[in-house]
Amino acid sequence: TIIKKGAKIDNLVQIAHNCEVGENTVMAAQTGLAGTTKVGKNCKFGGQVGLGGHLSIGDNVFIGAQSGVIKSIESNQVILGSPAMEIKEAIRAITVYKNLPKLRTEVSQLQKEIKDIKSQINSAVN
């Protein structure tokens, strides 16, 4: 494992075997890197970020807190979520997630209406 110059590692960060942390990278508390993960320079990790093993994280990558990274990330990306995804996609997913109970109710209501319409059509035909 190699930690390069200027890297800042907060408390309770776990860096496994054969990892590399690039220059000036910052990792907040409770971040974990699984084995053989390479992190580029000038990256910033929020708290409780988890990275799977054998990944490559490019330079200048920002990973939001509590993100779960399961695939390699190219340089100059901002990612968030679990599983981690590009920030715009993550925001859309979070918005949909928050609305799931309402959407479920609407779908159930629409299914009932469709069933009623089909029943009316069948009654009219017969």
Find out whether 33 and 49 touch, Cβ atoms under 8 Å.
no
CATH number where 16 lies: 2.160.10.10
**Domain annotation covers residue 121:** no
Find out whether 55 and 74 touch, Cβ atoms under 8 Å.
no
Higher pLDDT, 124 or 78: 78
**Domain annotation covers residue 15:** yes
Give the length of the chain. 126
**In the prediction, which pLDDT does 75 show?**
99
**Domain annotation covers residue 31:** yes
**Domain annotation covers residue 97:** no
**Domain annotation covers residue 52:** yes
**Domain annotation covers residue 23:** yes
For residue 84, the Cα-to-chain-centroid distance in whole angstroms is: 2
Query: Residue 47: is its pLDDT beyond 90?
Result: yes
Per the prediction, the chain carries an average pLDDT of 97
Domain range enclosing 50:
1-92
Q: Which of 30, 29, 27 has the alpha carbon at shortest distance from 57?
A: 27
Give catalytic status of residue 17 as yes or no: yes
Q: Render pLDDT for 66-107 as a digit per residue (tens, 0 to 9).
A: 999 999 999 999 999 999 999 999 999 999 999 999 999 999
**Domain annotation covers residue 99:** no
From the candidates 17, 54, 71, 115, give the one annotated as an active-site residue: 17
Q: Please state the pTM of the whole predicted model.
A: 0.83
**In the prediction, which pLDDT does 56 show?**
99
Q: Structurally, how many domains does the chain consist of?
A: 1
**Domain annotation covers residue 86:** yes
What are the backbone angles phi and psi of residue 27, rounded to the nearest 5°? -125, 120
